[in-house]
Amino acid sequence: MTTLAAEEDQRTRSITQHPSHFKDNPDPEPFCVGGVYTCPCCSYSSKLQFNFKTHMSNHLKQAVRHEGYFICKCNRQCRTAAHFHCLYCGHTILRKEQCQLHLSQCNIHTSRALPSPTASPVPPLSGSNAGTQQQIKAGSPSPSPTPAATSLLSLPPKCPERPPPQSQRPTVKCRHCGLTLRRRNLRLHLRRKHKTLITTMSTSSEHQTHLVLENYIGGKFVACGDSIDSYDPSTGQVYCSVPDSGQDEVNAAVAAAKEAFPDWSSRSPEQRAQVLNKLADLIEANLDEFAQAESKDQGKTLAFARTVDIPRSVHNFRFFASSVLHHTNDSTQMDHMGCLNYTVRSPVGVAGLISPWNLPLYLLTWKIAPAVAAGNTVVAKPSEMTSVTAWMMCKLMQEAGVPPGVINIVFGSGPKAGDTLVGHPDVPLVSFTGSTATAQRITERSAPYCKKLSLELGGKNPALIFADADLEQCVATTVRSSFSNQGEICLCTSRVYVERSIYPQFLEKFVAAARKWKTGAPSDPGSNNGALISKEHLEKVRSFVALARSEGATVHCGEGVDRLELPAQHAGGYFLPATVLTGVADSSRVMQEEIFGPVVCVSPFDTEEEAVARGNNVRFGLGAVVWSRDVGRVHRVAGRIQAGLVWTNCWLIRDLNLPFGGMKSSGTGREGGRDSYHFFTEVKTICVKH
C-alpha cells in the first residue's frame, strides 16, 4: 500500500473505529492556536478545553463509515440534516444517492485503492504530546503532528452552511441612526427604534434582507407551513417568501372576520371613517417605503409607484371614508293607502376580496375601503406575486385602530387560497379583479351559494383617431395609454385605429415617440417602463410578437428591433421595450386576445362606421378612447362603442363617484362611490302603515 493510501486508511480507521479516543486520551492541544481550541470538522471554537473535548467526543460519535465517505450529523453546527464528505478529496455531497456517482468521478479516488475497513486499528492519541503543548504555548514552531492528529486535521476544513465565526458574520448599518448590528437583528431594531415597516434598507454590505411574509388573521401575524418564492422582476432573483395558504388559513381568517362582524357593523359610519382616515394617514407617512417596495415587488418604475400607486391607495381610503357619510335612502308616500315606504341598507357580512398583481395596493385598497366603510369585515387575498405592500399595510392596522378580525389578509395562490375563499359558505359576496378565465371558475364555485359577485376583468381596448384630432396631443397621450406601467393596466389601449388620411403621419410620430419611451431599471428616474411581472409573462408577450411576425406583420420598434441597454444587475430581469405592430389582421389572436404588455397594433380605417365596427369586434368591452374635435362625432361614437368607460381626447381621468366596470367578457357589476356602496350592502324596503 502506498504511503498516501496508508495515511487515508489510517485516517478512516481512526475516525470510524475510535470515535471516543478524546475521552480516553484527552489531549486537544494540537488543535489549540492562540488559546482557542478549533474543531477541524466545523466552525466550533472555544477557549475552554473541557467544552472542546465534549464537543469533539460528540462530534466523533456521529461519524459512520459509508462506502468511502464520512457522514457528518453535527446539526447544531452546520445546520443540515445529513451530508457526506469524500475521504479522498474532501468534496461535500448533500444526498446519499450522489455518493457513488461522485466516487466514480473523483480523480484522487480513481488513482488509489479504497481504504481497507478490516485493517488493524491505529493506536489512539497518547500522552506523548506534553512537549508539544509546551512548545505551542511558548510560541515556537510546532512539531509534526502525531498520526492521529494528522487524521483529524486532514478532515474537510468545514461543513456546508456552517455559521461563520462571530467576527466574520455579516453586519448591516441602520440608515437612520448609523448603528452597526447583525443583519438578522435589523428588523427588530427598525421596528422598535424607528417604527420602520420594511427591512430592505441600505446596508454596509451588498446583501439584502430576505423578506418572509406572514398571514394577518384576527389582528395577528400568523406563520404558514408552506411558502412560495416571489421574485424581483427587475433582477429575476428571489425577493421574498410568501405564505402558500390553504384551507386551514382561509377558514381561520373567515372565522375571525365573522366574529368581528357584529361589533364592526354596529359602529356608526363616522366611527368607521375615522379608522379609514387614520390608516390613510399612516400609509401616506410611509409613502416612500411603500413605493420602493411596490416597485421592487412588481417591477414598475419607482416614479410610477410614487406618483400613481401609493397616492391612489391613500386616496381610496379617504374617498370611501367620506362618501359613506353622504349616501341617502329612498322613500315614497302612499297617502291613499296611509303608508310610508322607505329603504335601509345594511352590511352583508364577510367579503371575499381578490386583487391582481398589476396595481397591487392600488386595487387592493379599492376593494377593502368600500367594504369596511359599509360595515363589512373582509378576507382579502392579494396576488402571490405582489404581496409585500399588503403585508406592510397590515403592520399599520393596530396603530390605525382597526379592530382584530375586521381586515384579514391571507396570502397564497389562486387554486389553493383563492378557490377556498370563493367557495366558503360563510363568505356571501366576492369582489374579484383579474382574468376572464379565473372569473369563470369563481362563478362556478359561487353558484351553489348564490353569492353576490363583482367581476372586473380584462380588456382589449381600442383608440379611434379621426383626421380632425389634435395630432400632437393625440400621439403623446396614446403612447402613454399604450405603454404605461409596461402595458400592464387593464385600461391600456392595445388596438389603435387611425383614419387613413393621417395614418402615415400618425404612425411616423407614434413610432418615434415609442422609441423614446425608455425601458430600464425601475429605480432610474429616466425610465418610463420597468420590468414585466414574471419570466412566464415575458415569454407570453414575446410569443404574441412572434405570432404577429409569422403572420406577416411589421414590427416597427421594440421586441426584436431595438436593443435594450440595461445595468449589469438587471441583466436577468424581465424587460421588454415598447413595441409597435402594423399589418395585423383583425381576426388574428394578436388583435383578439389580451396581451397585457407593451405591445400595440396600429391599423388604418376609412369611415366612422368601419371604425366603430372594428372597435367592437372583440369579446371584451372595458374601455375605449375617441379622438376628434367634432363634438357631435364624439358623442355619437362614444354612445355606439361597446365599453363600460369611454374617454374622448384624454385617457385615465377618473371621478371615483361614477361607475367603473366593463361589458361583455370584461366583467359584471360596477365599482365606484355609489355602486360600491350598493354592492357591499343589502337593501331592505320597509312599509309603515299609519
Catalytically active residues are: 456
Helix (H) or strand (E) holding 355: none
Q: Which residues contact 62 (CB under 8 A, 6 or more apart)?
A: 71, 72, 73, 74
The span from the CA of 598 to the CA of 621, in Å, is 20
Distance CA 139, CA 273 (A): 75
Sheet with 45-46: list strands edge to edge: 32-33, 36-38, 45-46
Residue 118 neighbours by CB distance under 10 Å:
5
Contact 672, 658 (CB under 8 A): yes
CB burial readout 391-407, b (16+ within 10 A) else e: bbbbbbbeebebbbbbb
With 0-12 / 13-18 / 19 or more C-beta atoms within 10 angstroms meaning exposed / middle / buried, residue 483 is buried
Pair 83, 160: CB distance under 8 Å:
yes
- Alpha carbon 431 to chain centroid distance? 21
Provide Rg for the chain, Cα atoms: 34
Helices (H) then strands (E): counts for the chain: 26, 32
The answer to whether the beta carbons of residues 370 and 676 sit under 8 Å apart is yes
Instruction: Quote the cell numbers at residue 583.
Output: 399589418
Q: Which residues contact 168 (CB under 8 A, 6 or more apart)?
A: none
The grid coordinates listed for 454 are 363583482
Continuous segment of H or E residues that includes residue 21: helix 21-24
Residue 250 contacts by C-beta under 8 Å, 6 or more apart in sequence? 379, 410, 417, 420, 421, 424
Contact 211, 199 (CB under 8 A): yes
Torsion of CA 121, 123, 124, 127, to 10 degrees: 180
DSSP characters over 178-243 = --EEEGGGHHHHIIIII--S------SSS----EE--EEETTEEE--S-EEEEEETTTTEEEEEEE
Dihedral of the CA atoms 443, 643, 614, 611 (nearest 10)? 180
Per the listing, cell 378580525 goes with: 405
Ramachandran angles phi, psi of 380, nearest 5°: -110, 145
Closest CA relative to residue 292, chosen from 522, 131, 60: 522
If one counts every other C-beta atom within 10 angstroms of the C-beta of residue 212, the result is 14
Burial zone of 451 (CB within 10 Å; 0-12 exposed, 13-18 middle, 19+ buried): buried
Strand partners of residue 350: 377
DSSP 117-136: TTSPPPP---STTHHHHHHH
- What DSSP line would sit under 61-84, residue for residue? HT-EEETTEEEE--HHHH--S-EE
Helical ranges in 452-533 per DSSP H: 471-483, 503-516
Quick check: 521 and 234 in contact, CB under 8 A?
yes
Q: Which residue reads 450529523 in cell numbers?
A: 73
- Say if strands 69-72 and 64-66 run parallel, antiparallel, or are unpaired: antiparallel
Rounded Cα distance between 636 and 608, Å, is: 10
Q: Which three cell numbers stand for residue 553?
A: 406583420
Measured over the CA atoms of residue 377, residue 381, residue 387 and residue 391, the dihedral's sign is positive
